[in-house]
Structure 1
Amino acid sequence: MGNTGSTSPASLGKSHVPHLQWKVHDFSALLETGAKSAKSAHFHCSGYKWFLKVTPPMHQKPSAETPYVGLSLKLGRTTLKPGDTVNAVFELSVYNHAKKIYYGRKATHNFHLNNTCSKDECLIPLQKLLKSSAFLVDDSCVFGVKILKIKVCSPEKKAVMVLKKATTLQNLFIQKKGLIKGTYTWTMDNYHELDLKRYVCSPTFEVGGHKWHVGMYPHGCRNITGHISLFLYLESSDKLCDESGKVVELTLSILDQKNGKHSTITSGLSVFGGDSSWGWPKFLTVNRFKDPSRGYVLGSRCVVKADFTIVGSSNDG
């Protein structure tokens, strides 16, 4: 169940209270970052970690005549078991301050390890959002998500989950200046030796007063096979508390030392707080990585680069 974006979200009624109420401060600054998306810190429901994601309008499909802000729901990969499918029925919304109610859309999605994010099921016209004082107050707006039903299908059994009813409040603050940028290059001169290991990590480096490292699974993490998995981690000895975090835009690259055609992926804005990491389980196929015509491994050298920018902060309300 989804929508084409042809009409505005409808009223969800005065009794509607989301499981996550996510207030994005300095919304214009979020648009100015040019980020392809922004993701909330996690919230819990029925034993799973969930995230609300907002997609700025400059990244909507070119065929769309009207620019929209899109909302989608993401399920945390680390809380999913291999082979499980979580069917969720949920409502994505934006708060109307004048009428004191949420406007949104109902949707359903099957979440599994190869598909952890729904489509942009709730599309909000950008001009309506920016020009209406009902939705944007002091350059801030409130988005919401309410999970109505969860059914888990696993190889062993099927079960309907009992939902948690508590509401989580979060704030996202985007900086307009004073952005902190960091770059780290990890050169492995003994990659053929490291390739035999399940997991390898870079030395620790510091950006923004915090310690970080890059981690690689040479043959894939968890149930992923045939791929290089690549992540950025906040050091375990330097964890931010679960109630606050840093908002980071991340680019990870494996450098092509022969042709200069690097393998690069850039994230949207993500919150690093608590036990945090961000990256890609399927960053690059092992066959492509080890292809002699490419320069990802030259001799026994492999070079990984992390570029990231701390663009704001997040905390619980």
Structure 2
Amino acid sequence: MKDSIELTSSVLPNHMHCCTCTCVPLSVRPMKGRIIPPCHCLFKIESFSTLSKASVENYTSEEFEAGGYQWTLSIYPTGNKKKDGQHHISAYLNLMVSSSSSFPVGWEVNAIVNLFVYDFLRDEYFSYQDASTRHFHMLQTEWGISKFVDLVSFNDHSNGFLIEDACVFGAEIFVIKPPSKREHLSMIHEPPLLSYRWKFDNFSKVNLEKYESELFPAGNYRWKLVFYPNGTIEGKGNSVSLFLTVDTSSLPSNTKLYAHCILRVKDQVKGQHAETKFYRHFSSSNPTWGSRTLVPLATFKDPTKGFLEANSCILETEIKVLGLVKPL
């Protein structure tokens, strides 16, 4: 046996936050094991028997980061007597408030926390896997389990927790943040179907990249069609492109329209129209949607296809505003 004890802690990368906690005896529940190590902190103790005989009540790891906060893991080798933990190993997670300036007045951190002990024989990390949310706040910055592992079971080598006087503990902290996105969808009962027809004349004389229809009303909003006779983006030079766009000045503040739309180029002879259908949110930041390759140019200009009659084409849209989306 070594005359000194060696305590090493390794902090692993973390991507989640931690929370408030208080001592909750969970040892009445069976532990469950897993192969994957805890993702935030591993804490190895060598010469555990020497630590348990030392005068220190507990040993605390170095600080580690989890979810933007600093934490420590404390191990009581003979139990936290103040919390009725005698004859057990006690384990506690501490939120280091003094190490961060990100705590506003009245702060609270909510998290799911798991504490682990390693089984060397089975190569698994055991915990109670309690999914309860822990609440950290100014008056409660610590959470733990006073009766984490009873010492009889811990010292029994057949359980694998203490091998050659060494043991490993760990922690995971999953902070529950407020939703980054809150939306309220208000569906419209029996929304009307609104349509618009645009006859585009003198197609052979087009000399602009795009053409816009006049504004037309659909519901309580104004819209227009945008037509690219020679296509745009991947449709440029090989297709006609057609888009529907909402006049953003007609939209209420912070409101999106959830709509079902049809864009159509009419076959004026056989009625075999070219069209695209879509469900889409229209908003001030995303007011336009459509098709860059609605009809191949060769097909569009083919006189047998009926899209161009007397040098004119007919562009149509149908719009049904199904609901309004606003932030909560």
TM-score range, shorter chain: 0.3 to 0.5
| Structure having the higher Rg | 2
Higher relative contact order (CA 8 A, sep 6+): 1
TM-score (norm 2): 0.43
TM-score (norm 1): 0.45
